A = this chain, B = another copy of it.
Amino acid sequence: MNQLDESLLSAIPPFRRLDRAQIREILDLATPARFDERQAIFEEGAEASRFYLLLDGVIRVIRTTPGGDQIIVLHIAAGQLFGIAPALGHDTYPATATAAGECLVLGWPVRLWPTFVEKYQGFATETYKVVGERIDEMNNRIVELATQAVEQRVACALLRMLNQTGKKVDNGIEITFPITRANISEMTGTTLHTVSRLLSAWEKQGILESARRHIVVTDPHRLVQLSTSAA
Contacts and interface: CB of A to CB of B under 8 A. Distances in A.
Interface of A: 63, 65-67, 69, 71, 73, 85, 87-90, 94-95, 124-126, 128-129, 131-136, 138-139, 141-143, 145-147, 186, 188-189, 228, 230
Given A138-B139, A141-B142, 6 more contacts: A69-B147, A71-B143, A73-B139, A88-B135, A94-B136, A135-B135
A146 to B, nearest CB: 3
Nearest to A71: B146
Given A138-B139, A143-B65, A131 B88 contact: yes
24 contacts: A63-B139, A63-B143, A65-B143, A66-B228, A69-B147, A71-B142, A71-B147, A73-B139, A73-B142, A85-B132, A87-B132, A88-B132, A88-B135, A89-B126, A89-B132, A89-B133, A131-B135, A134-B135, A138-B138, A138-B142, A142-B145, A145-B146, A145-B189, A147-B189
A27 to B, nearest CB: 25
A204 to B, nearest CB: 27
A139 B63 CA distance: 9
Contacts of A95: 139
Nearest to A65: B147
B71 A128 contact: no
A228 B71 CA distance: 17
B67 A147 contact: yes
A89 B73 CA distance: 22
Contacts of A186: 146
Contacts of A142: 71, 73, 138, 141-142, 145
Q: Which of A66, A141, A145 has the most chain B CB atoms inside 10 A of its CB? A: A145
